[in-house]
Structure 1
C-alpha cells in the first residue's frame, strides 16, 4: 500500500476550526469525503477540500507512482493532521493605557491517502 500526501502550510485559519471538519472525513473514501465537504458550511471545509483534491491528484499522477494511476474510488483518507502554524501578533489599545494581544492564528493541514486494492 502506498501513501500519497498533500499539504497546505500557513493556512490563515485556526487549527481548532479545521480540526472539527477534519474529524468528519478521517477514514472515509476520498470521493465520499469530497461529497461530504461540499455541503459543509465551514470555511475550513473549503481548505480541506482543496488539500484532498491535491492528494488525489498526486495519486493519479503516473510520473510519481512508477507509471501507475490510481482511481479516486480506491483511495482512503488514512491521515488528516491539522497542526498550529505561526501566529501574527497584533496589539489592540484598551482603556487606561493598557494593550491586549490579538493572535491571528494559522495552521498546517496535511492529508494522507492510501490506495486500497480490493474495494
Structure 2
C-alpha cells in the first residue's frame, strides 16, 4: 500500500490485488460519498470477498490522514474510490482432442481518497451528536427515579402478600404413656439341654431296636 497526498485529500492505493476490477467496483460503489464510519460499517456487514480488503484500505487512508496530516477522523468522508485494471496473467487448461482453453487471472489497482467534510455538514453532525448525547443523559436521569419507584412498589407488594403468623391458644393435652408389654424371656441353656436330652432318648431307642 502506498500513500500519496493530493490537493483535496489523502489517498491510499493497493496495487496488484488478485481480483478483477469489475468485482471490486461493485464494492466501491457502496461506500463512495459516505462518512468514513458509515462506510466501515457497510463494509463490515457485506459478504463480498473484496469488502474486507477495501475495509483495510479505507482504514489505512483514515490512519494516514490522522497521523500524517492531522485530520480528525470524525470529519472525513470517502470522496473518491475507484479500481483500475492491472496486469492479467494468462494460463491454459488442457481440453479434449489435444486442445487447450485460455484462463485469464486478472488483477486490479484500488484507490481510495478521504477528504474533510464541508463545514456546514460538520456543524450539523456535531449538533446531532450533542442532541443524541443529551437524550441519552436525560433518559438515564428519567429511568433512575422510575427504577426506585418500581423497587418501592415491589417491596410494598411483597409485604402485603406476606402471610401473617396465627397464634393458637389452648391447653395442651398430656401425652399418653404407653404401658410396656411383658415379653417372656427364654433361657438358651434350658433350650440346649432339652434338645440334647431328646437326642439321647432317640439314640437309646435305636440301640434297643438293634438288639432285638
Q: TM-score, normalised by structure 2?
A: 0.52
Q: Using the TM superposition, give the Cα deviation of residue 74 of structure 1 relative to its aligned residue in structure 2, in angstroms.
A: 0.6
Q: What residue in structure 2 maps to residue 86 of structure 1?
A: 87
3-state SS, counterpart of residue 91 of structure 2: strand
Q: Is 2:33 the counterpart of 1:27?
A: yes
3-state SS, counterpart of residue 53 of structure 1: helix
Q: What residue in structure 1 maps to residue 114 of structure 2?
A: 113
Structure 1 runs, 4 residues or longer, greater than 2 Å off: none
**Residues of 2 paired with 1:101 and 1:56: CA distance?**
40
Between Structure 1 and Structure 2, the one with more strand by share is 1
Between Structure 1 and Structure 2, the one with more helix by share is 2
Please list, as runs of the form range in 1=range in 2, the aligned pairs for 1:23-62 lying within 5 A after superposition.
23-61=29-67
Count of aligned positions: 114
Q: What residue in structure 2 maps to residue 3 of structure 1?
A: 9
Q: TM-score, normalised by structure 1?
A: 0.90
Q: Using the TM superposition, give the Cα deviation of residue 8 of structure 1 relative to its aligned residue in structure 2, in angstroms.
A: 0.7
Higher-RCO chain (CA-CA 8 Å, sequence separation at least 6): 1
Q: Is 2:18 the counterpart of 1:12?
A: yes
**Residues of 1 paired with 2:75 and 2:8: CA distance?**
12
Q: Is 2:73 the counterpart of 1:96?
A: no
Q: Which has the larger radius of gyration?
A: 2
3-state SS, counterpart of residue 85 of structure 1: strand
